[in-house]
Chains A and B, each alone.
Chain A
């Protein structure tokens, strides 16, 4: 088949020793920046790009390196999420829900292993799908209208109640708070400043990393300080290693999450956070009868991590096949092409097959590298916990702060993070779940932007929101999700 021949040509590029080495370097860097909460793949890629140019790397090699950083970060985010309850990147927020309880039961290593396997499965299946279906998929993706996005995000929001752990009203309140936090900054529709208090620093809105570091990292540390650094710290051992039975039980979860993650990822306006949130809640609902979601269910770790990596790869589909970046990070990757005088666009596969197919082939290799890197290192990562808590937590916090400051160069952001930290600590004491806040924050902004777009397009006609079959289906699912708890009660 033609595609296979082209892919073979890609492997010829990707298997060249220097390209293999670059993929390895990229995977290591990507994992490292995924671990650190302060700095994300976007910043790392932007900082690496001038090096690529200075080293006179050919374009395919530069892209192999930079893209490895990108998907490698999807493997790193889970490590601190599971072991320390501090998500290293936005999409790992959901991983804390079951990953950290597992770590507390001494099964941190097993959780790390299953999430590594999930990441590999999600990414690899997605690369296969991308190899064969890239162009038609991307064409479908652009047909997704702002109104469809509204319905999709509303559906994701309707599942917030499921990620709260205990009390649904508290989860809802937390979600609403997140949506409110997303309103800070210059309003995208009219340019009016909202809730900035007249400060320049808030004009651009709140940064996700600042919110997450505050709520999770600082909040966790405050709680530990209060309990004199002993109480509920994760245990390094005492639990079983990951069993074959557990892996098998997770396989359907991984396939479903791959499907959800990839589809969401291909849409240029959604992202890995939406994907991991949807797949986690979907798995939780599907396995209500036999699951222990929220208290340490392997599937609760596998689902978001699989979907996260699948979505990351999916995000590359519109970028490579249409030249349309779906996220900030893919926009920077496209910028890298431009710097090599390669025009990103629909003709990329024809004009520079070495670059396009070399990159795709390198992703097969890179994901194997990441799996091989991550599984043997599970023990090493888990051993992080032998570091005394009074060293470990402040150490992670210092690194996070350094990351935030390096990117924003603003002490204001650090103060803001401390403020959110106090909030996170109080909320933990009040049993208010933190994950819905973060999800509300991410989804709220997307919901508002798309709702306004839909309204602007239809001149304020609300019927636009249910104009397409996709949106009708999504709204129906939203309704079902909202009514589900009461329906279930009646059935009992």
Chain B
């Protein structure tokens, strides 16, 4: 295959570069002027993923050379994936920040003609988890209360979160609805600009349910202003969330990890790919990492390499199916 041949030739190339003795660990690949693309303006989640992770990789000495963060906003990642595929298909020195939200966009064809098979999935750095939040004086005490009300009259429960219909925030609500046999199209879903405005609307009583993320609701939870009906995780979350049952415990089969991680170009040489996978693996094992990860509002989630790739592809396929089921407007591939 042509791709194999390219991979081979590209894999040999780094040997020509003057290798630093201490740095040349994984299969002889050493990053040169490595770059982390944050497909958003400075200040967002992607930006944090790049800046904090690369800083940590440098401080711990896992990657000996500093990695530059490059912001590339546009289409919530569409411009970046386009750039990677059009101009840097085999670049071993570039990684791109990615999240579950990107998989949602991929599944709906919003990254142009690029699909989940047009990048190499390197690994996750951590995950935030979806939660179902209500105001402290809400009529809903358990997830079952909410589910029953949704079944009786889905339009009677105004829900809102920080994304449009079809976005990852919407998915949390839609998956809960669907898991209980309610057509997501019949939900009353209100898109806000970001989690902050959604929380304001919840506290102000304009919406009754806010399918938010654990990291963004924590302050209100600790202050007792809101209650969480469920966390959308496989197991209970630690700390302030320990008392909140998972959806699964309450008989609703929904998980919503917002996995943050990196992908590389589609023809990134194996040596480089393995190097980056190994770097993330060592990062996850480093004693200083849990604190840094928590600073990004992330819980432990350490799938890397092939496992991460499998997850990315499986989730994208699931989202594609959901989009089809509920008749979301998707762009033709």
B34 located at the interface, meaning its Cβ lies under 8 Å from any Cβ of chain A in the complex: no
Contact between A142 and B191 (Cβ–Cβ < 8 Å)? no
A244 located at the interface, meaning its Cβ lies under 8 Å from any Cβ of chain B in the complex: no
Contact between B43 and A42 (Cβ–Cβ < 8 Å)? yes
**Interfacial residues of chain B within 72-87, with CB under 8 A of chain A in the complex:** 72-76, 78-79, 82
Closest residue of chain B to A186 (Cβ to Cβ) is B164
CA distance A43 to B160 in the complex (A): 27
Partner of A453, one of B75, B160, B167, B328: B160
CB contacts between A and B, total, < 8 Å:
173
CA distance A330 to B75 in the complex (A): 23
Q: Tell me the minimal C-beta distance from A29 to chain B in angstroms.
A: 14
Partner of B41, one of A318, A408, A412, A452: A408
**Interfacial residues of chain A within 23-48, with CB under 8 A of chain B in the complex:** 42-43, 45-47
Contact partners of B192 in chain A: CB under 8 A? 453
Contact between B295 and A340 (Cβ–Cβ < 8 Å)? yes
**Interfacial residues of chain A within 269-289, with CB under 8 A of chain B in the complex:** 269
CA distance A338 to B82 in the complex (A): 32
Closest residue of chain B to A457 (Cβ to Cβ) is B158
Contact between A268 and B167 (Cβ–Cβ < 8 Å)? no
Contact between A43 and B110 (Cβ–Cβ < 8 Å)? no
Q: Tell me the minimal C-beta distance from B80 to chain A in angstroms.
A: 9
B219 located at the interface, meaning its Cβ lies under 8 Å from any Cβ of chain A in the complex: yes
**Interfacial residues of chain B within 38-52, with CB under 8 A of chain A in the complex:** 41-43, 47-48, 51-52
User: Known interface pairs A201-B79, A339-B296. Does A407 touch B74 (Cβ–Cβ under 8 Å)?
Assistant: no
Contact between A204 and B164 (Cβ–Cβ < 8 Å)? no
Contact partners of A410 in chain B: CB under 8 A? 72-74, 79
Q: Could you say which of B18-26, B199-207, B251-259, B280-288 contacts chain A?
A: B199-207
Closest residue of chain A to B215 (Cβ to Cβ) is A338
Contact between B164 and A189 (Cβ–Cβ < 8 Å)? yes
Contact between B199 and A204 (Cβ–Cβ < 8 Å)? no
Contact between B200 and A409 (Cβ–Cβ < 8 Å)? no
CA distance A200 to B160 in the complex (A): 27
Q: Chain B: interface secondary structure?
A: mixed
CA distance A130 to B137 in the complex (A): 27
**Interfacial residues of chain A within 162-218, with CB under 8 A of chain B in the complex:** 186-193, 200-201, 203-204
Closest residue of chain B to A346 (Cβ to Cβ) is B223
Partner of B74, one of A200, A318, A323: A200
Q: Tell me the minimal C-beta distance from A296 to chain B in angstroms.
A: 36
A324 located at the interface, meaning its Cβ lies under 8 Å from any Cβ of chain B in the complex: yes
Closest residue of chain A to B110 (Cβ to Cβ) is A203
Contact between B194 and A457 (Cβ–Cβ < 8 Å)? no
Contact between B329 and A200 (Cβ–Cβ < 8 Å)? no
Contact between A46 and B79 (Cβ–Cβ < 8 Å)? no
**Contact indicator per residue, chain B 185-223, by CB within 8 Å of chain A (1) or not (0):** 000111111101101110111110000000100111011
Chain A CB within 10 A, most for which of B188, B199, B331: B199
User: Known interface pairs A42-B42, A43-B41, A343-B222. Does A141 touch B200 (Cβ–Cβ under 8 Å)?
Assistant: yes
Contact between A142 and B47 (Cβ–Cβ < 8 Å)? no
A248 located at the interface, meaning its Cβ lies under 8 Å from any Cβ of chain B in the complex: no
Contact between A449 and B193 (Cβ–Cβ < 8 Å)? yes
Partner of B219, one of A330, A347, A457: A347
B243 located at the interface, meaning its Cβ lies under 8 Å from any Cβ of chain A in the complex: no
B165 located at the interface, meaning its Cβ lies under 8 Å from any Cβ of chain A in the complex: yes
Q: Tell me the minimal C-beta distance from B268 to chain A in angstroms.
A: 21
Q: Could you say which of A83-91, A143-151, A354-362, A383-391 contacts chain B?
A: A143-151
Contact partners of A453 in chain B: CB under 8 A? 160, 190-192
Closest residue of chain B to A44 (Cβ to Cβ) is B42
User: Known interface pairs A45-B43, A191-B165. Does A146 touch B201 (Cβ–Cβ under 8 Å)?
Assistant: yes
Q: Tell me the minimal C-beta distance from A416 to chain B in angstroms.
A: 12
CA distance A191 to B330 in the complex (A): 9
Contact partners of B74 in chain A: CB under 8 A? 200-201, 203-204, 408, 410, 412
Contact partners of A433 in chain B: CB under 8 A? none
Contact between A457 and B196 (Cβ–Cβ < 8 Å)? no
Contact between B220 and A409 (Cβ–Cβ < 8 Å)? no
Contact partners of B71 in chain A: CB under 8 A? 407-409
CA distance A457 to B110 in the complex (A): 27
Contact between B203 and A322 (Cβ–Cβ < 8 Å)? yes
User: Known interface pairs A338-B295, A457-B207. Does A346 touch B43 (Cβ–Cβ under 8 Å)?
Assistant: no
A331 located at the interface, meaning its Cβ lies under 8 Å from any Cβ of chain B in the complex: yes
Closest residue of chain B to A190 (Cβ to Cβ) is B165
Contact between B48 and A346 (Cβ–Cβ < 8 Å)? no
Contact between B191 and A324 (Cβ–Cβ < 8 Å)? no
Contact between B73 and A409 (Cβ–Cβ < 8 Å)? yes
Q: Tell me the minimal C-beta distance from B1 to chain A in angstroms.
A: 29
Closest residue of chain A to B223 (Cβ to Cβ) is A346
Q: Tell me the minimal C-beta distance from B15 to chain A in angstroms.
A: 31
**Contact indicator per residue, chain A 333-344, by CB within 8 Å of chain B (1) or not (0):** 011001111011
Contact between A193 and B331 (Cβ–Cβ < 8 Å)? yes
CA distance A143 to B74 in the complex (A): 34
A76 located at the interface, meaning its Cβ lies under 8 Å from any Cβ of chain B in the complex: no
**Contact indicator per residue, chain A 110-153, by CB within 8 Å of chain B (1) or not (0):** 00000000000000000000000000000001111110000000
B225 located at the interface, meaning its Cβ lies under 8 Å from any Cβ of chain A in the complex: yes
The 10 closest A-B pairs by CB, nearest first: A345-B219, A46-B42, A203-B75, A46-B43, A346-B223, A142-B204, A325-B196, A191-B166, A323-B219, A332-B43
A203-B76, A324-B196, A347-B223 given; 12 more Cβ-contact pairs under 8 Å: A45-B43, A50-B52, A142-B201, A142-B204, A145-B206, A188-B191, A190-B166, A200-B112, A323-B219, A324-B203, A407-B41, A409-B72
Give B contacts to A, CB under 8 Å. Answer: 41-43, 47-48, 51-52, 55, 70-76, 78-79, 82, 108, 110-112, 155, 158, 160, 164-167, 188-194, 196-197, 199-201, 203-207, 215, 218-220, 222-223, 225, 291, 294-297, 328-329, 331
A-B contacts, 10 of them at CB < 8 A, read A46-B41, A145-B206, A191-B167, A200-B82, A203-B78, A204-B75, A324-B196, A331-B194, A408-B41, A412-B74
